[in-house]
Amino acid sequence: MPHEPTRDDADHELNNRLFFRLVQAANIYHRQATRELSISAIQGVVLGALSRYRDEGIAFSALVEYLAVSRQNLDAVLKRMERQGLVERIEGPTDRRIRIVRLTSAGAVAWDDLSARTVEFYKLATETIPVDARAAFVEVLVQVSRGLKSIRLDSARKPGPRPKQGRRRPHAGQGATDAPRQARGAEAGD
């Protein structure tokens, strides 16, 4: 007996398409930004974020929060950008444990060049979309972001046995004593 589609089925299909298209668009953006702007999308975003704090920089933990990325991923991106001479990490002025991230003079020049080219890149990407549709889409993305941040699947599930929360095992080839050292190293990167 065939399944009659329900409103829940239609909502699921629409949500599935929405999130697939978001991921697809992000992947296309990343590929095109790398190809056309000669910089990865995340590096461009980091330069843009740091340009708002050109003189004083921003605490690593605040940058993690602002960009909504993991500490580990941001640390890896910053290491690449440090090797390229675009950013630097310095001690906080009042607390030496806090790491401040800021643009170098080369990073500021790179951002000025990138931001000028980005204007054209974004213009070409959105030229067929009316301004009011872009504004509405931005608001929808803000709402999706809020919805994603508020998800707590455990509280939405029916009562029943919960899976055990165990410690993560080291990756293959990583000794058990390496995992705590690496975790401490990530924390010290602040």
Tell me the per-residue pLDDT of 51-101, one tens digit each, with 9 for 90 and over.
Answer: 999 889 999 999 999 999 999 999 999 999 999 999 999 999 888 889 999
Say how many residues make up the chain.
Answer: 190
Q: Which of 84, 71, 147, 144 minimizes the C-alpha distance to 114?
A: 84
Q: What predicted TM-score, i.e. pTM, was given to this entire model?
A: 0.67
pLDDT of residue 163: 52
Per the prediction, the chain carries an average pLDDT of 83
Distance between CA 110 and CA 51 in Å, rounded? 10
Distance between CA 33 and CA 45 in Å, rounded? 11
The β-bridge partners of 164 are none
| Cβ pair 87, 54 in contact under 8 A | no
pLDDT of residue 188: 36
All structural domains of the chain, each given as residue ranges with its CATH number in brackets, are 11-147 (1.10.10.10)
Higher-confidence residue of 187 and 146: namely: 146
Distance between CA 121 and CA 37 in Å, rounded? 8
pLDDT of residue 28 exceeding 70: yes
* pLDDT tens-digit map of 143-168: 999 999 999 987 655 555 555 544 44
